[in-house]
Amino acid sequence: MLGTWFEIALWKRIMMALVLGLIAGTLWGEGAESIRWVGDLFVRLIRMVVVPLVFVTLVSGIVSMGDPSKLGSLGVKTLALYMGTTFSAIIMGLFLAAVLQPGVGVDLSNAVPGEIQQAIPLSERLMSIVPENPIAALAEGNILAIIFFALLVGISLLTIGDKGKPVADLMDAGMETMLKITHWVMEFAPFGVFALIAWVAGTQGAAALLDVVRLALAVFIGCVAHVVLVHGSIMKFMLKLSPANFFRGARDAMLLAFSTSSSSATLPMSMSVAEENLGIKPVVASTVLPLGATINMDGTALYVGIVTVFAAQAYGLDLTMTDYGIIAGTTTIVSIGTAAVPGASLFLMAAVMEAIGISPEQIAIVIGFILPFDRPLDMLRTSVNVTGDLSVSTAVANWEGEFDREIFDRPLKY
């Protein structure tokens, strides 16, 4: 029986866990809270491997690159494509919100005001990239700071040549070690996913979405359309690759992102499928994916844009084209400062809403209104975020000659 279990493809086991967790949570109700610890344990195991995995794979990847000048080209292409896909997500969200008008006729009078947390200023976000103490950055899990320090270590190993070989070999061995541990942790995924979904269904329930069906519909359509149209087009027209092969290769990470609502918690799985299913070589996977988990928030940007228009419509504010432009620009900046953890974007909408004249009191009411059903929508947009990370990584790997077409095209285990 154990052998049969491991013969089933991981994505199928995760999908079964999703369905069974939804059923169990719906039937069990509030009692599903008692098994939440299993899901929390799974998330903790993932976060245990994220920091060492990112650090050793990034250093090892840079050393294997052989030429530090390639990092400049890789970085420019990565940032440009991340910003481009994020901006397209915002435009799609604003268009759907304008067409579907989810906020028209919505009564916010019974909403309990929610707590507002100010968005992190961009200057502060940029300053945090340089760690005061690299060890502290590793302990705190500050991914951007870890990336910066790992880049310095990797480049320095390249420049000192043979003297750095012992450390380079250590990092290479460390990468293999962390990938093996990650594989073991991922085998626990179905149980963690079952517990997380059962908890969500039992304590919050998908029925909460009925209170704001048009808003949920706009977010759902936007997420699906963005993934299919934008990232499918990147595969088909920009890279001349099969979109079906891409989505099939990325499905494990997409399902895990949906379950955990955290881009950072999904990072080990994303790095695994990038190399094993999509043919992305470590030098790209170890740099582009951690950066994407931190700054690439396609789903979050789409969601913030829709909720902002929803709020304006609910309060009867007439938005002009200038207002839509302000929303798009502000959302692009805010999305960069969004932490890759569940529900973070919910408290980072203040800057966008304030930019079009919505008062802090009104913003608090909007947040209080959407808070009860934010978790299901958070699951959707996190899956979009992770898909974007893998799409951009595939594109950059192609352009940088760090891509294995045979791995990408080979049939996967069903």
Q: Is the pLDDT of residue 205 over 80?
A: no
pLDDT (tens digit per residue) in 211-265: 577 888 899 999 999 999 999 999 999 999 999 999 999 999 999 998 888 887 8
pLDDT (tens digit per residue) in 40-84: 898 888 888 888 888 888 788 778 766 666 777 787 888 889 989
pLDDT (tens digit per residue) in 87-139: 999 999 999 999 988 888 776 666 556 555 555 555 666 687 788 899 998 88
φ and ψ of 280, to 5 deg = -85, 125
Q: How much is the average pLDDT of 181-195? A: 86
Per-residue confidence band for 277, with pLDDT thresholds at 50, 70 and 90: very high
Please tell me the predicted confidence (pLDDT) of residue 94: 93
Please tell me the predicted confidence (pLDDT) of residue 6: 73
Quote the mean pLDDT of the chain. 83
Per-residue confidence band for 32, with pLDDT thresholds at 50, 70 and 90: confident
Q: Is the pLDDT of residue 207 over 60?
A: no
Name the percent of the chain in helix, strand, coil, to the closest 5: 80, 0, 20
Please tell me the predicted confidence (pLDDT) of residue 297: 82
Domains, the chain: 2-409 (1.10.3860.10)
pLDDT (tens digit per residue) in 355-374: 788 887 788 788 777 776 77
Lowest mean pLDDT segment, chosen from 30-39, 164-173, 346-355: 346-355
